[in-house]
Amino acid sequence: MYVERDYRLTVETGLVNFQVQVGESDLWVSAETRLARRAERLLREARGQLEAYLARHPEFGASLEPVRLKRGAPEIAREMARAARAAGVGPMAAVASAVAEAVGRGLLEWTREVIVENGGDVFLHCTRAKRIAVFAGESPLSRRVGLEIEAGAMPVGVCTSSGTVGPSLSLGNADAATVVARSAALADAAATAAANCVKGAEEIGKGLEEARRIQGVTGAVIIAGDRMGAWGQVTLIPL
């Protein structure tokens, strides 16, 4: 189910917000100043490198399992492959977050603070704590609970996978599996792995255990229906 990104209208970052679109990539960026042209250039660069690699090695985009990189792989593909290997999923499970982080880190040359959101996957590098709401579709807990990310934990990736919301492939039925990690690509891949384990609310613990086993993941929150579970270094807040 595709969901309009109306949540962006409620974003309050204390920064300048702007949208950047190239192809299928639709980013919502927050920075100290409007850096839309620079962000677009970085986005085109990241997409161009990845698309060129996928054209030569289509198995990288089709596999639902980790794949071996070929010679000459760009850094964005390497980051996706590392995350996929750690989580035991296909590398495209980390594509949205890898793109967001590539753009975010590139923008740090011109801003001290940046947030890049790409389809619910977020890269943050800020000097103050930030709160992120968890969107969980039709769950009564959707947008009712959030995560507080301390400045000392950044840069960080906060990524969500869902079996009921959005176009991304999930083998489970979690309304939201949100994972926190220093690498946004790893958070994304781990969220996919965790969500795949949750066929119903009774398997929330199984999904959290899956997230816990992935080295580099610092915390996770999973919502299925009217139930929620959390593990790790996450500070939950009511919204």
The answer to whether residue 127 scores a pLDDT higher than 90 is yes
Does a structural domain hold residue 151?
yes
Rounded mean pLDDT of the chain?
93
Any idea what the CATH number is for the domain that residue 153 is in?
3.10.520.10
Would you say residue 114 lies in a domain? yes
**For residue 64, pLDDT beyond 50:** yes
| Residues 173-190 pLDDT 10s | 899 999 999 999 999 999
Domain membership flag for residue 64: yes
Domain-embedded: residue 60: yes
pLDDT on residue 105: 98
Q: How far apart are the first and last CA of the chain?
A: 24
Q: What is the model's pLDDT at position 1? A: 44
Contacts of 41 (CB under 8 A, 6+ apart): none
45 assigned to some structural domain: yes
Domain that holds residue 40: 6-238
Q: Is the pLDDT of residue 3 over 90?
A: no
Q: β-pairing, 227-232 with 235-238?
A: unpaired
* Tens digits of residue pLDDT in 76-99: 999 999 999 999 999 999 999 999
185 within domain boundaries: yes
The number of domains in the chain is 1
In a domain, 21, yes or no: yes
CA distance to 28, 46, 50, per residue, from 53 (Å): 25, 11, 5
pLDDT at 124: 97
Provide the pLDDT for residue 44: 98
How far apart are the C-alpha atoms of 118 and 20, rounded to whole Å? 10
Report residue 2's pLDDT band, with 50, 70 and 90 as the boundaries. very low
Distance between CA atoms of residues 130 and 232, nearest Å = 18
Question: What 3 state SS string does the chain have?
Answer: CCCCCHHHHHCCCCCEEEEEEECCEEEEEEECCCCHHHHHHHHHHHHHHHHHHHHHCCHHHHCCCCCCCCCCCCHHHHHHHHHHHHHCCCHHHHHHHHHHHHHHHHHCCCCCCEEEEECCEEEEECCCCEEEECCCCCCCCCCCEEEEECHHHCCEEEEEECCCCCCCCCCCCCCEEEEEECCHHHHHHHHHHHHHCCCCHHHHHHHHHHHHHCCCEEEEEEEECCEEEEEECCEEEEC
Cα distances (angstroms) measured from residue 197 to each of 109, 205, 206, 210, 222: 39, 9, 6, 8, 11
Residue 1, domain member (yes or no): no
pLDDT of residue 125: 97
